[in-house]
A and B are shown apart, each in its own frame.
Chain A
């Protein structure tokens, strides 16, 4: 602590002497807390820790970046924490779709507008998977089978009233088929349940199911995006992410992408936002980040400022509509 006192004193003296150079803009003066509104080991957590590793390895920040999981109440704990830290620029949060779904489904007093948008890092794709032993070769085959089974075929997904279930309900609406939706804790578990034939299909993100695909245990049927994914390196059996057709081309007109974006505490200044935007631009340029994007077959759209806010706003409306139709809104 002594040393820290000395450092602090030195900093103080420097401040008085006006020696803090005319640094362009703002910089963190304390460790920055990087909140993950999800549990350890999940998709958001992996991304946050990868970013932390990249920042450390490439020395992108002078202060440490500290990842903290606040997963209580489907992430509500994390969002409320950042909301309550108005004016504290040393707190950022990575979001997933629970930015919209959690407040809508649970009625906690939170809206994304309570936070300051920083940047969209990437979008996560969703793919319809079935067990490789099953005969379904196309999305249409599978949907026909679901219809025939009359609601007994099981769709496994992560969480309840969240993205996976929203897609499931959208599929039901689009086709008239009925699923039995079974919520699990995490995407990896869902993928293994599919391999073990305890469920019939999933809408896992690529990164959650890629290992099982490579092992020849599961089969992708279609991707919920308007165009096929851009990665043409073969994964298994000569097939690449690029070869998975869009669901739309299979007669299943549903698009869903999940936000992987950064927000910060309310009442942040322009300088502070710019600092983080700049930081994440640097992160995106590193080879580690590009590898990570490739492993997870992410859609690498990057957005900041007004574009980003507008995108989030549109998504919020869409989620509200989707969840209302599905009857997922909190009753109170």
Chain B
């Protein structure tokens, strides 16, 4: 029970007026960062890090982690309203969130997204409070082979979901893998597929592809249908929040599952992006309403958002207890800790009790404050859809260009964004699914890297992927997910035969 006493002490620290002020400021900044494409959580925290040097470390980390929460909340807004994911982990939110907005249910989608985010984060924080040391030792078991198994599972739980023709799905996913491979090969340190073009040194950044494929592509599709965004009739009052809340308990199972997936992905650390995709894929398979996913199902917003937020929160745990960041943003926060003279690692929980528990308490409070802030803004966000298309479209295009530019400060990326936009339009019209392409860009090079690291370690033996209980179990789960539909069919046939 020492933990609880520490936690209450932490609440006392976090509830100091200055810290509460810092918290609200952090949330607001974070939401802005999350909304603007290109200014991701990692960039935002990095940019604001030096500004916090003059604060006491506890206040500083509270502010930075609140920016982090805010960015997690904010990423969902543009995904739902405009089909533009501001953050990688909000891509899966667009699948059902954007159709909901088009049906005039933007308010419901936003409420569901924010509430699920809160639930996911809360679950993860409770886990951090109660079982931190245990979890840290679990994270240590993840070497390259285990990481590859996790990526494998993420892919398997997601492929085979699209209704598009299988060869188009294969083509789209392979294009994603090919794009992910461009640039420096991290295992051999040599350049590949760059053909001497220096602009390609970076490879293809996920965000630029997504801004183009989803954001610009959607605007072009809208142009084809005439000059209007659908969904302008969204309700813009706060009653929609209560109305949505009444519906949400029905999805408790999906929520719980997503929380677990999110925590697991956050700790290992694979990150929030695979968590959101995996959670969406699994929900689609296991849910009764799974068949309707992709057409504006509220459960399709709940699953990825819960998992992404749980992962984002859980990612802070390995950072604090091991000194290894679970996400790029956590990596920047880690740098901040070092600069304030706090050494993350096994000793932090012992030596810096006040700081650690102040931070954990601020996670509870920061999330609550964040939820309140964004929920009160739901009507405002929903009202954005009422702005006439010919005003909002050029503004979105300009913001997309700025977003694409600020990822690497390169105007070449803006050109790429437009190319991806036209591709997104053509692909969508020709029935190529975009989701597998995006998933492959995000995880392709990481999966390849983990695979090759494993083989280096095992002297080239593939047996490494079944060499212990942990990695073997994850691989088998992946295989089950891959052949799920076949298994299901066999099962129902078996039942029919016995009946």
Interface residues of A (CB under 8 A from B): 39-41, 45-46, 49-50, 52-54, 56-57, 67-70, 72-74, 76-77, 80-81, 105-109, 152, 154, 159-162, 165, 180-186, 188-189, 191-193, 195-196, 198-199, 207, 210-212, 214-217, 288, 291-292, 295, 328, 330
B103 at the interface (CB under 8 A from A): no
The residue in A49, A107, A160 that gathers the most chain B C-beta atoms within 10 A of its C-beta is A49
At the interface with chain A, which of B47-55, B284-292, B356-364? B47-55
Q: Is the CB of A57 within 8 A of B328?
A: no
Report A-chain residues with C-beta under 8 Å of the C-beta of B53: 53-54, 56-57, 288
User: B203 interface residue, CB < 8 Å from A?
Assistant: yes
Question: Which residue on chain A has the smallest CB distance to residue B409?
Answer: A68
Residues of chain B with a CB closer than 8 A to A39's CB? 328, 331
What is the minimal beta-carbon distance from A299 to any residue of chain B, in angstroms?
18
B174 at the interface (CB under 8 A from A): no
Q: Which residues of B contact A195 (CB under 8 A)?
A: 140, 322
For A296, the closest partner residue in chain B by CB is: B338
Q: Which of A77, A108, A183, A191 contacts B323 (CB 8 A)?
A: A191
Which residues from chain B sit less than 8 Å from chain A, CB to CB? Answer: 42-43, 46-47, 49-51, 53-54, 139-144, 183-191, 194, 198, 201-203, 318, 322-325, 328, 331-332, 334-335, 338-339, 341, 343-348, 408-409, 449, 453, 456-457, 459
Give chain B nearest CB distance to A82 CB in angstroms: 12
- Closest B residue by C-beta to A46: B335
Is A73 in contact with B339, judged by CB distance below 8 angstroms?
A: no
- Chain A residues with CB below 8 A from B140, complex form: 192, 195-196
Asked if A53 and B50 sit within 8 Å, CB to CB, the answer is: yes
Q: Which residues of B contact A210 (CB under 8 A)?
A: 343, 345
> In angstroms, how far is the closest chain A Cβ from the Cβ of B317?
13
Closest Cβ of chain A to B138, distance in Å, is 10
29 pairs of residues in contact across A and B, judged by CB atoms under 8 Å = A39-B331, A40-B335, A41-B332, A46-B338, A46-B339, A49-B335, A54-B53, A70-B408, A73-B184, A73-B194, A76-B201, A160-B185, A162-B189, A180-B456, A182-B456, A182-B457, A188-B325, A188-B334, A192-B318, A192-B322, A196-B140, A199-B457, A212-B345, A214-B343, A214-B346, A214-B347, A215-B347, A291-B341, A295-B338
Q: Contacting A105 at CB < 8 Å: which of B141, B190, B409?
A: B190
Given pairs A53-B50, A72-B203, 4 additional interface contacts (CB within 8 A): A41-B335, A54-B53, A57-B54, A70-B408
- Cα A230 to Cα B399 in complex, Å, equals 51
Q: Indicate which residue in B189, B202, B334, B335 contacts A72 across the interface (CB closer than 8 Å).
A: B202
Interface centre among B144, B202, B338, B341 (most CB of A within 10 A): B338
Report Cα–Cα, A74/B338, bound state, in Å.
24
Decide if B343 touches A211 in the complex (CB within 8 Å): yes
In contact, B189 and A185 (Cβ under 8 angstroms): no
Interface centre among A67, A181, A196 (most CB of B within 10 A): A196
In the bound complex, residues from chain A placing their C-beta under 8 Å from that of B344 are 211
Contacts of A291 in B (CB 8 A): 341
Q: Are B323 and A159 in contact (CB under 8 A)?
A: no
Chain B residue at smallest Cβ distance from A51: B50
A50 / chain B contacts, CB cutoff of 8 Å = 339
Cα–Cα distance between A198 and B186 once the two chains are bound (Å): 19
Among A56, A68, A74, the residue within 8 A (CB) of B189 is: A74
- Which partner residue on chain A sits nearest B40 by CB separation? A40
In the bound assembly, the distance between CA atoms of A214 and B318 in angstroms comes to 16
Q: In the bound complex, how far is the Cα of B415 from the Cα of A324, in angstroms? A: 38
- B190 near A56 with CB under 8 A, answer no
Contacts of B325 in A (CB 8 A): 41, 188
Bound: A207/B345 CA distance, A: 12
Question: Interface of chain B, helix or strand or loop or mixed?
Answer: helix
Alpha-carbon gap, A152 to B331, bound state (A): 31
Tell me the complex Cα distance, A77–B293, Å. 41
B323 and A188 contact, CB distance less than 8 A:
yes
Q: Assuming the A-B contacts A52-B50, A186-B331, are A73 and B186 also in contact, with contact meaning beta carbons closer than 8 angstroms in the complex?
A: no
> Would you give the shortest CB distance from A80 to chain B, in whole angstroms?
6
The answer to whether B345 and A161 have CB atoms under 8 Å apart is no
Contact A53 B49 (CB under 8 A): yes
- Once A46-B338, A196-B143 are accepted as A-B contacts, the answer to whether A106 and B190 lie under 8 Å apart by CB is yes
Whether the pair B188, A160 counts as a contact (CB closer than 8 A) is: yes
Q: How far is the CA of A74 from the CA of B323 in the complex (A)?
A: 23
Q: In the complex, are the beta carbons of B189 and A328 less than 8 A apart?
A: yes
User: A41 touching B345 by the CB < 8 A rule?
Assistant: no
Listed residue (A41, A80, A198) with the most chain B CB atoms within 10 angstroms of its CB? A41
* Bound CA–CA A41/B336 (angstroms): 9
Q: Closest B-chain residue to A236, C-beta based? A: B347
Chain B residues within 8 Å of A76, by CB: 184, 198, 201
Nearest opposing residue in chain B for A214, CB measure: B347
Q: Are A77 and B201 closer than 8 Å at their CB atoms?
A: yes
Nearest CB in chain B to that of A77: its residue: B201
Say yes or no: A198-B457 contact (C-beta < 8 A), given A160-B186, A185-B186, A212-B346: yes
Bound-complex Cα distance A78 to B331 (A): 20
Residues of B within 8 A of A188 (CB): 323-325, 331, 334
Quick check: B335 and A192 within 8 Å, CB to CB?
no
Smallest CB separation, A286 vs chain B (Å) = 11
Q: How far is the CB of A307 from chain B (nearest CB, A)?
A: 29
Question: How many whole Å from B116's CB to the nearest CB in chain A?
Answer: 28
B183 — which chain A residues lie within 8 A by C-beta? Answer: 72-73
Contacts A196-B140, A214-B345 known; A152 to B459 CB distance under 8 Å?
Answer: yes
